[in-house]
C-alpha cells in the first residue's frame, strides 16, 4: 500500500481553510488524503472494511491512490458534506442510500484503529448541543449567564421579567431558514417579556441574561495551545456585520485557560472555538463553544499560529 501513515482530511472541495493546513503538511512531507465521503463515494471513490476475530482491515480507494485505513495516523474532521444518496436516485431510494452511507461509511471512518481524531465526529456532535455546552461549562468553572431553555411561554416571560439587565434570544441550533425563498440568518437579539408570545410552545427556545459586555473574545483551542482574540463590534452579535468588527490578539487569563482545558478533556475534544463576553469588571462569561468553528478569519498572525498548531496535531498522530 502507498501513503503509509497518511493524514485523512474529511472536508468538502470548496473548503479553502483546510487548504492552509494542507499546504503546511505538504511542506513537512506528511502524506495527505482528502476525501468528501458524502459525495466522493458516489463519484469513483470506494471504502471497504473487514472485521474478523482479532483483526480489522480497510481499504480506501480514490481516483489517485489506495490507502490502508489501519495505517492512517490522524483524521481531521473538518467540513465534509452531508451524506447524500447517488444523484441518479430519487425519493425513498435516495434516502435509503444516504442513510446507509452515513451509518456504513460514516461508521467506518469514525472507527479507524489507532487514528488520532481532530475531532472525533461523535464527540463533535455531542459537543454541539447547547444544553450540554452550558452544563459542561458550569462544571468546568466558567462564568455562565443565567439561561433558560423552554417551550413554556409563561416560564420564558417570567425569566425575561426577572433579568434586570435585559434578555437575549438565541436559537439552540443553526437551522437553515428562508424568508421569501432567500436564506435568512437568525442572529442573537434582545427581547422583552411582552414580546414573548405563545408561539414559544412550538419548540424549545433559549433565553439568556444579557451580559453587560465591553467586548467579545474568541478563544481557539488546539490541544493545549490557546489563541485569544478580542473582538470589538457595534453589534450585539458580531457575526452580523463582520466588516465592522476589529480583532486584536490578547492573552487568555489563567483561570479561563484552566476551564478551557477541563472542558476539552470532559468532551474529548482536541480543537474548539470558544466565545466569551467580557464585562467592565473583567469577568469572562462563557457564551458557547463550537467544536468545529471557523478560524481563518482572525488576524494573520493568529491564523498562522492556529494553522501550525493544527498541523502539529495531525502530524503527531495518536499519543503513544
Q: What is the pLDDT of residues 167-187, one digit of tens each?
A: 999 999 888 778 888 877 778
Q: pLDDT at residue 277 above 70?
A: yes
Percentage of residues in the chain having pLDDT higher than 90: 84
Q: What is the pLDDT of residues 110-119, one digit of tens each?
A: 999 989 999 9
In total, the chain counts a number of residues equal to: 320
| Whole-model pTM over 0.85 | yes
Q: pLDDT at residue 17 above 50?
A: yes
Distance CA 302, CA 296 (A): 8
Distance CA 118, CA 78 (A): 8
Distance CA 274, CA 289 (A): 4
User: Which of 155, 238, 169 has the alpha carbon at shortest distance from 209?
Assistant: 169
Q: pLDDT at residue 239 above 50?
A: yes
Amino acid at each position: 500500500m502507498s501513503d503509509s501513515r497518511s493524514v485523512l482530511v474529511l472536508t468538502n472541495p470548496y473548503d479553502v481553510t483546510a487548504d492552509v493546513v494542507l499546504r503546511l503538511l505538504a511542506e513537512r512531507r506528511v502524506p495527505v488524503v482528502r476525501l468528501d465521503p458524502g459525495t466522493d463515494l458516489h463519484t469513483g471513490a470506494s471504502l471497504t472494511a473487514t472485521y474478523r476475530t482479532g483483526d480489522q482491515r480497510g481499504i480506501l480507494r480514490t481516483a489517485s491512490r489506495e490507502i490502508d485505513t489501519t495505517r492512517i495516523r490522524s483524521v481531521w474532521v473538518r467540513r465534509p458534506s452531508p451524506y447524500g444518496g447517488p444523484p441518479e436516485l430519487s425519493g425513498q431510494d435516495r434516502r435509503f442510500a444516504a442513510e446507509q452511507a452515513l451509518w456504513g461509511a460514516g461508521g467506518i471512518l469514525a472507527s479507524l484503529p489507532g487514528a488520532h481524531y481532530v475531532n472525533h465526529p461523535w464527540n463533535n456532535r455531542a459537543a454541539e448541543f447547547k444544553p450540554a455546552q452550558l452544563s459542561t461549562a458550569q462544571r468546568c468553572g466558567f462564568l455562565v449567564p443565567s439561561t433558560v431553555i423552554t417551550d413554556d411561554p409563561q416560564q420564558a416571560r417570567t425569566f425575561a421579567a426577572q433579568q434586570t439587565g435585559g434578555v437575549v434570544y438565541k436559537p439552540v441550533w443553526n437551522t437553515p431558514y428562508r424568508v421569501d425563498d432567500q436564506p435568512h440568518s437568525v442572529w442573537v437579539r434582545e427581547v422583552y417579556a411582552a414580546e414573548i408570545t405563545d408561539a414559544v410552545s412550538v419548540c424549545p427556545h433559549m433565553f439568556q441574561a444579557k451580559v453587560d459586555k465591553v467586548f467579545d473574545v474568541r478563544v481557539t483551542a488546539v490541544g493545549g495551545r490557546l489563541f485569544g482574540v478580542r473582538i470589538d463590534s457595534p453589534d450585539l452579535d458580531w457575526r452580523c456585520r463582520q466588516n465592522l468588527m476589529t480583532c486584536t490578539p490578547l492573552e487568555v487569563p489563567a483561570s479561563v485557560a484552566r476551564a478551557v482545558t477541563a472542558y476539552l478533556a470532559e468532551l474529548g475534544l482536541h480543537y474548539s472555538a470558544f466565545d466569551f463576553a467580557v464585562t467592565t469588571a473583567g469577568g469572562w462569561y462563557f457564551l458557547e463553544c463550537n467544536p468545529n468553528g471557523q478560524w481563518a478569519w482572525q488576524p494573520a498572525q493568529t491564523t498562522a499560529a492556529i494553522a501550525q498548531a493544527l498541523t502539529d496535531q495531525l502530524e503527531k498522530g495518536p499519543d503513544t
